[in-house]
């Protein structure tokens, strides 16, 4: 491992061959102003020629590093792979689609210098459609309830971290990675800077389902609150049933009221039975994650590492 450098920039790439050159051309001038640097592109099992595009850029920019993963592991895992190979005292992460302007890195670094451990670049205006924004809001709402940070769940993949935070974050080995959860578990000393997020000609590949799935991963991986809610609902249901039973018994013994209402009884049974099945599924989700984590499978597998010097490790 070479000596640490001033700043590392980690960019996960998936089918982003067309984006590599324009992104790198904007990153290099910004990074050079900050001192020694490296740009780590992580090819997350792309099906196009992303790796070749990165190697081509590498011929002109020696500071470019290519980490090739053996298959597609997802954005958070591929970002973790890049963080594991980063050598900078500060480490920046951003998306491939140019909606995170590289020119704003200076502002994030300046905010970090105020004493924060992590600084997020938060979008001034959300450029996505309504459904995409609702999916994102769902994840942020869950994050605000689970994670204790000053940003109230308002995260972004455009961030800068101190070296020690990166060192701790890469120690996590969860079958369901959520990078912002790892960061929030490590430090609460975070801040945000509003940055422009221009509409990109390159289409984002983050689907509604994946955004919602990240929220659910956060909810189950970093909190037992769903189990606590399930217990409270079960207790409330049992108390309601007890009160209803006492009401029926008193009506029968005191007022000689005949017990009726099979339709309402069936509705109650269906509702309670449905809740039981749902909560059993929730418990099964926790047990399944325990099983997956007990396998201790790696979050990613690196096929090869190519640094700009021309040397590479397989």
Q: What is the 3-state secondary structure (H, E, C) of 89-127?
A: EEEEECCCCCCCCHHHHHHHHHHHCCCCCEEEEEECCCC
3-state secondary structure of 70: coil
Locate the domains of the chain by residue range: 5-222, 225-294
pLDDT at 216 (0 to 100): 67
CATH class of 5-222: alpha beta
Report whether pLDDT(149) > 60: yes
The residue whose two tokens read 């039981």 is 276
| Token pair listed for 218 | 């956060």
> Taking the model in full, what pTM does it have?
0.76
- Other CB atoms within 10 A of residue 5 CB: 18
Q: What is the mean pLDDT of the chain?
A: 82
Q: Is beta strand 302-306 parallel, antiparallel or unpaired with respect to 312-313?
A: antiparallel
User: Where is pLDDT greater, at 8 or 188?
Assistant: 8
- pLDDT tens digit string along 155-187? 889 999 999 999 999 998 887 788 888 998 899
Radius of gyration, alpha carbons of the chain? 25
Q: How confident is the model at residue 39 (pLDDT cuts 50, 70, 90)?
A: very high
64 bridge partner residues: 39
Nearest CA among 188, 26, 185 for reference residue 92? 26
């Amino acid at each position: 491992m070479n000596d640490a450098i001033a700043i590392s920039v980690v960019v996960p790439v998936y089918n982003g061959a067309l984006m590599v050159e324009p992104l790198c051309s904007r990153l290099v001038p910004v990074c050079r102003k900050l001192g020694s640097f490296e740009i780590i592109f992580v090819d997350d099992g792309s099906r196009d020629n992303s790796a070749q595009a990165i190697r081509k850029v590498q011929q002109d920019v020696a500071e470019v590093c290519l980490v090739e993963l053996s298959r597609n592991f997802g954005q958070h895992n591929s970002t973790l792979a890049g963080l594991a190979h980063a050598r900078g005292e500060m480490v920046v992460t951003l998306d491939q689609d140019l909606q995170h302007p590289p020119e704003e890195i200076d502002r994030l670094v300046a905010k970090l210098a105020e004493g924060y451990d992590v600084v997020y670049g938060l979008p001034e205006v959300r450029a996505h459609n309504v459904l995409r924004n609702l999916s994102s809001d769902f994840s942020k709402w869950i994050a605000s309830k689970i994670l204790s940070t000053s940003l109230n769940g308002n995260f972004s993949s455009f961030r800068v971290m101190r070296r020690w935070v990166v060192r701790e974050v890469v120690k996590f080995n969860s079958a369901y990675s959520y990078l912002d959860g790892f960061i929030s578990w490590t430090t609460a000393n975070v801040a945000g800077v509003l940055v422009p997020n221009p509409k990109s000609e390159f289409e984002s590949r983050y689907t509604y389902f994946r955004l919602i799935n990240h929220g659910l991963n956060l909810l189950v991986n970093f909190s037992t609150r769903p189990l606590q809610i399930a217990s409270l609902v079960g207790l409330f249901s049992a108390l309601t049933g007890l009160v209803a039973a006492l009401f029926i018994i008193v009506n029968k013994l005191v007022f000689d009221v005949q017990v009726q209402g099979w339709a309402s009884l069936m509705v109650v049974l269906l509702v309670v039975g449905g809740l039981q099945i749902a909560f059993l599924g929730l418990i099964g989700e926790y047990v399944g994650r325990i099983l997956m984590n007990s396998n201790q499978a790696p979050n990613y597998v690196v096929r090869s590492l190519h640094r700009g010097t021309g040397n590479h490790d397989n």
